[in-house]
Amino acid sequence: MSTEATTPKPKKRDRIGVILYLLYVLLLIASLVLILRLAGIQLFWKPDPKIADALTPSNTVSVIEPARGNILDAEGRLLAISCPIYQFYMDCTVLKDTNTPEQEQAWLGKARQLAEGLAAEFGDKTADQYYKLIKDSRAAGKKYVRIGRPVDRNVYNRVIELPLFREGRYRSGMIVEQEHIRQYPYGKLARRTIGFVRNNKSQVTNTHIGLEGKFDYVLHGQEGREWMRVTDYGRVRNSDSAYVKAMDGKDLRITLNIDYQDIADKALREQITEEPDLEGACLVLMEVSTGAIRAMVNLVREDGTGPFEEIQNLAIGRKGEPGSVFKTVTLMSVLNDGFVRSLDETLPATNGNVAGTSIRDAHIPDFARQHKTNRISILDGFKISSNYVFATLAVKNYGIDKSKGRGKGLEKTERFLQNIYNYKLGEAFAFDLDGLQTPTIPSPATRYWTDTDLGSIGFGYSTEETPLHILTFYNAIANKGRMMKPYLVEDIEERGIVTERRGPAVLNAAVCSKAVADTITRALKAVTEEGTAKRLKDAKCAVAGKTGTSFGTYANGQYQDAQGRRKYQGTFVGFFPADAPQYSIICTVYSKPTGKQFQGGGIPARAIRTVIDKLYNIDPCFREQLKRNPTATTK
């Protein structure tokens, strides 16, 4: 502004000019007051916090929940999916204080109709009980009364259309809480293998079970974050604030074939449901060339006496003395080490005593009498599952050289045990489920080793193995010596695109030569054709396998209690078709102390027979192929 501005001569103001001038001055003063007031409010005035909170638009951070990934079977069918469930509550005091007596009567009339609808929908209370609940809660001023049980979307849609509820929450007092839960469309099939993740409300500390638990980091995804503010149009995302997108969980494609799982589950249940003395059973089906597990059934009695449910993974989590199925391990060991060249080699069959031990097999004298011989071949010993033959093979070829003194001469025994470790029967290899037990293999270097240990290892005692370890070993025989690692997760996918391929892996490239594998297969075929597993002889395809029965020990170290009852562990393990194996399979049953017998050739063999017969009809491997004649012409 120029300081040289000259003051113009005063003009005579007219009336309108004066009025306008006064108006101008008034507005000027008002604007000054406003400016001062604004400055005062901005700098010095502190509002009442309650009023400030009420008038300030809320800008709150909101967590965006990621969608949990699905679990798909080998054919892409959904095994686990997230769905919402709804729980109804009721604020019974709604409109209570404002209703006129007539309105109150009308409200209660609708409540009676609602009660009838609720009784019909939920079925847990009668209509009168529901009406009494609503009426009494209204009288008592209860604002959060639980109605019925959690329901799915279809029931939710029907309930919100019931009388009174259809008038909305402000007139009916209806409160709905939604929660996303995991649903398993195939129900109890493979529930323990698929597993679950308990939420934080659970009192149980073991919250991550099965594949859901182990791969929670993949399935869960990553939470997002957004800032929300309240506007005239409702609650909207604040576009000026940071926004972190939620990353949805990835899908898990697993190796289970739910059809095969269904067949295996049904076959096993058919065999065990009517056996009150059984406490559990498991059945695992594995693909020979890859180690992919196609079915894994684990059934345990609920609370010891209830129905069979998938509540414990016996196949990986319960180890026990495997019994005669371990004789194949001894056979492979002596064949690999060249101690036995042919299955037709013989051993003396006189009294059944194993030299240098207290082991005695009472069946040998019977065998000698029946066959009018004093020799028994290894093949015959395998067919009849002779403890004598395999204890003798172990002791004779791997016995401790006692001439070298105490604590020495263990080389041969340690070699046998090393073979067992090489067959991966002494370690808990990496598996797609937590809880794979480490087998127990005794060592001659410890003071717990006894003279009978080597012989009893030879026929499947003094060691503890899980069914999965045994199956992995037999699978290697079927795969001509190449031991595949059992696995359950094929790959991890994102919207149908594979982001991480897991697939097959080799545990031991050659546990034995092809010739040894063929020799053992011959022995295993003999078991199903003429031996202890004759139930499988007429299966739809040839089966090679071995039965095994062991007895659990009691606290006093005995194999039977005072009443002579035993705890059985009966197993059948094998593969099929015997000549070109596609699948290996194991079934183990566990009994309570019982006077009945649960041999490996009984329930396990019957269950496996059913599975094989059904699989044979539907598996693409067994389809017959007709070759089109290229010279044939059609008219």
Partner 1 sequence: MKTWKLADIGLFFKNSFQAVLRGEFLLRLNIGRYFIHIAYTFLLFGLAIWFSLMIETTMSKVEKNKAVLKELEIVHSQKVFEIVNVSRRSSVEQMLGELGSRVGEPDKPATTVKR
User: Which chain residues interact with partner 1 by CB under 8 A?
Assistant: 1-3, 5, 7, 21, 24-25, 28, 77-78, 81-84, 152-154, 183, 185-187, 189, 231-237, 239, 258-259, 262-263, 266, 614, 616-619, 622-628
Q: Given the complex with partner 1, which of 11 and 201 has the nearer CB atom? A: 11
Q: Given the complex with partner 1, which of 154 and 203 has the nearer CB atom? A: 154
Least distance (Å) from partner 1 to the CB of residue 77? 7
Return d(Cα 539, Cα 542) in angstroms, integer. Answer: 6
Least distance (Å) from partner 1 to the CB of residue 578? 17
Least distance (Å) from partner 1 to the CB of residue 608? 17
Q: Given the complex with partner 1, which of 31 and 358 has the nearer CB atom? A: 31
Q: Given the complex with partner 1, which of 152 and 579 has the nearer CB atom? A: 152
Return d(Cα 54, Cα 539) in angstroms, integer. Answer: 78
Q: Given the complex with partner 1, which of 77 and 142 has the nearer CB atom? A: 77
Three-state secondary structure call for residue 473: helix
Least distance (Å) from partner 1 to the CB of residue 327? 33
Could you give the count of Cα atoms lying within 13 Å of 319 in the half-sphere of its Cβ? 20
DSSP 538: T
Three-state secondary structure call for residue 68: coil
Enumerate residues 6+ apart whose C-beta is below 8 A from 592: 277, 278, 279, 304, 567
Q: Helices 514-530 and 467-478, interaxial angle, to 10°? A: 110
Least distance (Å) from partner 1 to the CB of residue 247? 17
Contact 252, 67 (CB under 8 A): no
For 556, phi then psi, to 5°, come to: -85, 5
Cα–Cα nearest to 457, from 402, 522, 392, 377: 392
461-464-467 Cα angle (round to 5): 110
Q: How many residues does the chain have?
A: 635
Q: Given the complex with partner 1, which of 61 and 505 has the nearer CB atom? A: 61
134-139-141 Cα angle (round to 5): 90
Least distance (Å) from partner 1 to the CB of residue 1? 5
Least distance (Å) from partner 1 to the CB of residue 255? 18
Cα–Cα nearest to 577, from 607, 539, 625: 539
Q: Given the complex with partner 1, which of 269 and 396 has the nearer CB atom? A: 269
Contact 162, 118 (CB under 8 A): yes
Three-state secondary structure call for residue 573: strand
Least distance (Å) from partner 1 to the CB of residue 293? 18
Q: Given the complex with partner 1, which of 78 and 526 has the nearer CB atom? A: 78
3-state secondary structure 298-332: EEEEHHHCCCEECCCCHHHHCCECCHHHHHHHHHH
Least distance (Å) from partner 1 to the CB of residue 31? 10
Amino acid at 463: T
Q: Given the complex with partner 1, which of 263 and 420 has the nearer CB atom? A: 263
Least distance (Å) from partner 1 to the CB of residue 258? 8
Return d(Cα 200, Cα 177) in angstroms, integer. Answer: 17
Return d(Cα 121, Cα 115) in angstroms, integer. Answer: 10
Q: Given the complex with partner 1, which of 72 and 389 has the nearer CB atom? A: 72
Least distance (Å) from partner 1 to the CB of residue 24? 5
Place of tokens 């949990």: 68
Three-state secondary structure call for residue 606: helix
Q: Given the complex with partner 1, which of 272 and 391 has the nearer CB atom? A: 272
